[in-house]
Amino acid sequence: MNLAELKKQVYDCNLELVRRGLVIYTWGNVSAIDRGNGLVVIKPKGIEYDLLTADDMAVTDLDGNLVEGSLLPSVDLDIHLELYKKFPNAGGIAHTHSTWATAWAQAGVDIPVMGTTHADHFYGPIPCVRQLSREEVEHDYERNLGRVIVERFEAIDPASMCAVLAPGHGPFTWGRSPEEAVEHSVILEELARMAKLSADINGGKAPVLPEYMAEKHYMRKFGPEAYFYQNR
């Protein structure tokens, strides 16, 4: 895939966030990485989605330097860069301020595995990372948020948990491609909604799925002996 095609891919994925109702106005962003050439393509900052074109996508190197385009990249670029550097299987990253996932982020708590719908897609609770210190916020905020996410994932496999909540901020998801990153954002939002409704129905207490059931549902799709999909 050449750079023009990658910019079109990232543009389409950003618009998919709008189509799925996960962002409004200038909220959120999607990026993709060309690891062979050390380039990242990301939505430019401060431009409403209905005004964007594929040519508007900003292209940077892995140090955040703009190498193509006339518009500056998203203010969240450094978060994306930190994740790309530490998550080698990530080919795309999506960030939204979708209502339900952001509500959990603002509450500052992990989303428990309450049902098999969750277990079918994510291996374990959706983690909410720690709050940044005043110094981390005031000095290199975005890069430090990326580092705090990476810090939490020292004990979590980012290939089996492709989502995270930034406290008081919102969700980030990733995947092997920007399309998969967006898909994970869509699924995360629905899981966050289901989780809140389930807790409310249960008197405010989160009903946690038995670990053996969660394990079965994830492994039948993604484990070494997976059998969920058609054999073709």
pLDDT tens readout for residues 131-161: 999 999 999 999 999 999 999 999 999 999 9
pLDDT in tens, 56-80: 999 999 999 999 888 999 999 999 9
pLDDT of residue 186: 98
The CATH number of residue 204's host domain is 3.40.225.10
pLDDT in tens, 36-48: 999 999 999 999 9
Give domain status of residue 232, yes or no: no
Range of the domain at 184: 3-222
Separation between Cα atoms, residue 124 and residue 59, nearest integer Å: 34
Number of domains the chain is built from: 1
Counting other chains too, the contacts that 221-225 makes at CB distance below 8 Å and 24 or more residues apart are: 221/120, 222/123, 222/160
Give domain status of residue 100, yes or no: yes
Give domain status of residue 152, yes or no: yes
pLDDT of residue 140: 95
Which residues, given as ranges, of the chain have pLDDT below 70? 231-232
Give domain status of residue 231, yes or no: no
